[in-house]
Structure 1
């Protein structure tokens, strides 16, 4: 995979997860106790042998830059190649929307790279993929563009790209739909192509008024390319809404999914923080939960995820909830189906309960 340049596009629609992305991008939202969403795509690239990775920054990049830094935790702090940040361009007179302008204004990065292929991904998916298999499939089919899809197991809403394919993987139809159903082939925002194809696509589409790489560069020009798709049959979650974020976090509490994502040969890397171990006091009762380092537990925690440095007081009952870093849940509090963002304080004897599929969200730094 040294012949492949990885690109993670962080220009995404966050309108359905706005409560958690007020001052951060979707890809830097905390996940599964100690990770950020971008860790899954970035780790999959590194584990596949990709050594040159460009991060297409969002309009508010601070949280991403703080998390990734030099790329050292992913072994990307290198003298040659490594991790590169590709900033969003200043607003133009035309004030174009979409991600295409970002690719166009960073074309020199692609053209000066020594790699033959470009692997373009999104950072809002949860998966653990070996991209070497995708490269072999791409070369064997002689495709112009290769995509990866998963077969939907339930109805979902959002920006879904649905494929129809022949038996050999040739894409016969591609369209964007607001909802998909059980059995649909849903693209995972992963595209592999030769660099010359990518550069031509970006330059031609942008200079002819296009705004969105997927819609204007691929879907509307689908007849001009030989597009194939291969299936990923492992776990996939697209975190494009608050409901999807909650559901995918609860998914990792299942041992089978946890083992697939984190316990195989391909590790998921993240920013290292040295914290003391969890302190379970005499009154603690924890069942089927993920508890990160630095937590102090005096109450009950069931089927929940607690991030680093959370304090749980005596008599507290936490169930089916996600509690992010440095939250303080004080004595006698009941929390069920709740997402608490960072640095939230729930004072004594409070009861907070959300719906099973639509959790109550407490935004960052709030005191209740």
Structure 2
């Protein structure tokens, strides 16, 4: 085997908060009909990489059900496979994955049994299109032992990333993990190609319990003057790890064609997924949709503007949805208005309600670091009664059933079951 892809898909995604309350972050719906994980899987399939391992940990059921045998991505062929790897008990006992490299380390025997020449390590929660064959080609040409995909970022944001300094040949001279005063703006994308022998060497000799590629493996290889290079990537890439980035990445898909983040209509590089068998979307006599993504099975009698609707969403007459994301199976009754809201699956919102009301004067009181820009989030299966008034920066957890006594939720509040 030439190359094995290993996708890290076990992170809880705590900054996605309510959306990852009952599912792992890569399993969160995206762009209406897709899941976040679909982009990494589709990149592998489109790049001709059909041996894939998915490392899961936190609440894996939703992800496992979505992946199945891997048929939508063509991983169920005779000469291909997708393997789900979870923490397991070994001679030294059992342990959760403690770091990105520790997750790979706990599956060393799997890598040895597959015996690839190269190992491609990916994150399962990034939105981008990449042909990994170009990265592998550079890796070979450079005689590299490790190649890391990197992208320039605004210098004022560089302290949020792992930052590289490179020479004229793109060989890495120095690496700083989230430096307070970055000396470069070339940021790691968390995409790695290792020579298998080099990967196994460092996994076995570094003894850190929380072994991480950014904190331990890459700095060690640079310090020991190993052949570590960057592959510069200049197309769209987004880590959708926060409410703000998640909403922005969804809305990037509906910008004008010359500004679009990722072209979902590119027949040469399709994004594959496990689709629900639903009828085509229907926009009724009183319905309208402008600059939006409307998935199959939607019934629109109201107005949808600059928004993304998942499969089977109902929007009744007089309702308006603006700058919002609505997951599958949600019902929005008559004359109800949503403004900058993320609504999870199977939510019922009664008529004559206003969600995302007022100004974002204060952040969410309980989680100000998570929700402060004016987004309101409603969890899976919640019920919002008729005539509700819910402000901005509000968090309503899944399966909460508001009633006449608590249907007015001020800016910044959190409602739990």
Q: TM-score of the superposition, structure 2-length normalised?
A: 0.82
The 1:130–1:179 alpha-carbon spacing in structure 2 relative to 1, beyond 3 Å, is: farther
Q: Distance in 1 between matches of 2:31 and 2:155?
A: 22
Q: How does 1:43-54 map to 2 (within 5 A)?
A: 43-54=42-53
Assess, with a 3 A threshold, how the Cα gap between structure 1 residues 244 and 157 changes in structure 2: closer, same or farther: farther
Higher mean C-alpha displacement, 247-256 vs 307-316: 247-256
For 1:140 and 1:234, how far apart are their aligned partners in 2?
22
2:35 alignment partner in structure 1:
36
Equivalent residue, structure 1, for 2:121: 120
- Range with greater deviation from structure 2 (214-223 or 335-344): 214-223
Q: Which residue of structure 2 aligns with residue 62 of structure 1?
A: 61
User: Is the contact made by 2:152 and 2:185 (CA closer than 8 Å) also made in structure 1?
Assistant: yes
User: Which deviates more, 338-347 or 357-366?
Assistant: 357-366
User: In the aligned structure 1, how far is the partner of 2:299 from the partner of 2:346?
Assistant: 15
Alignment of 1:295-306 (within 5 A): 295-306=298-309
Instruction: Give 1:178 deviation, angstroms.
Output: 7.3
Give the direction of change, closer, same or farther, for the CA distance of 1:16–1:146 in structure 2 (3 Å limit): same
Alignment length, in residue pairs?
Answer: 366
Contact 1:156 1:179 in 2 (8 A): no
Distance 1:313 1:261 in 2: 28
Which residue of 1 is the match for residue 394 of structure 2?
Answer: none
* The 10-residue stretch of structure 1 (104-113 or 117-126) with the greater mean CA deviation from structure 2: 104-113
1:96 Cα deviation from its structure 2 partner: 7.2
- 8 A Cα contact 1:295 1:309, kept in partner: yes
| Inter-partner Cα distance in structure 2 for 1:156 and 1:274 | 42
CA distance in 1, matches of 2:316, 2:132: 45
If asked which structure has higher relative contact order (CA below 8 Å, sep 6+), I would say 1
Q: Find the counterpart in structure 2 of residue 216 from structure 1.
A: 216
Instruction: Classify the secondary structure of the residue corresponding to 2:383.
Output: coil
Deviations 1:138-187 (A, max 9, x none): 01111110011112258559962222222221112212217899x82221
- 1:265 and 2:268 aligned: yes
Alignment correspondent of 1:253: 254
Paired residue secondary structure (1:53) = strand
Query: In structure 1, what is the Cα distance between the partners aligned to 2:305 and 2:181?
Result: 32
The reply on whether 1:339 has 2:355 as its aligned counterpart is no
CA contact (8 A) 1:158 1:240 kept: no
Q: 1:156 to 1:348 in 2, by over 3 A?
A: farther
Distance 1:19 1:93 in 2: 29
CA deviation vs aligned residue, 1:279-329 (integer Å, no higher than 9, x gap): 111000110000000000000000000000000011001100000010000
User: CA RMSD of the aligned region, Å?
Assistant: 2.4
Shift of 1:98: 2.3
CA contact (8 A) 1:10 1:27 kept: yes
Secondary structure in structure 1 of the residue aligned to 2:178: strand
Asked if 1:15 is matched to 2:20, the reply is no
Partner of 2:313: 310
Structure 2 unaligned residues grouped into runs of 5+: 361-371, 385-417
Contact 1:11 1:99 in 2 (8 A): no
Deviations 1:79-104 (A, max 9, x none): 34410111123595887732444322
Name the structure 2 match of 1:71: 70
| Runs of 4+ in structure 1 over 6 Å off | 93-96, 178-181
Distance 1:179 1:363, change over 3 A: farther
Deviations 1:17-41 (A, max 9, x none): 1221011111111001111111111
Q: Do the aligned partners of 1:310 and 1:326 also contact (CA within 8 Å) in 2?
A: yes
Q: How does 1:162-311 map to 2 (within 5 A)?
A: 162-177=163-178, 184-205=185-206, 207=207, 209-224=209-224, 225-254=226-255, 255-256=257-258, 257=260, 260-311=263-314
Residues 178 and 241 of structure 1: CA distance in aligned 2, closer, same or farther (over 3 Å): farther
TM-score by length of 1: 0.92
Q: Give me the whole-angstrom Cα distance separating, in 2, the residues matched to 1:158 and 1:359.
A: 25
On the 8 A contact 1:210/1:217 being kept in 2, the answer is: no
- Conserved 8 A contact 1:39-1:270: yes
Q: 1:191 to 1:96 in 2, by over 3 A?
A: closer
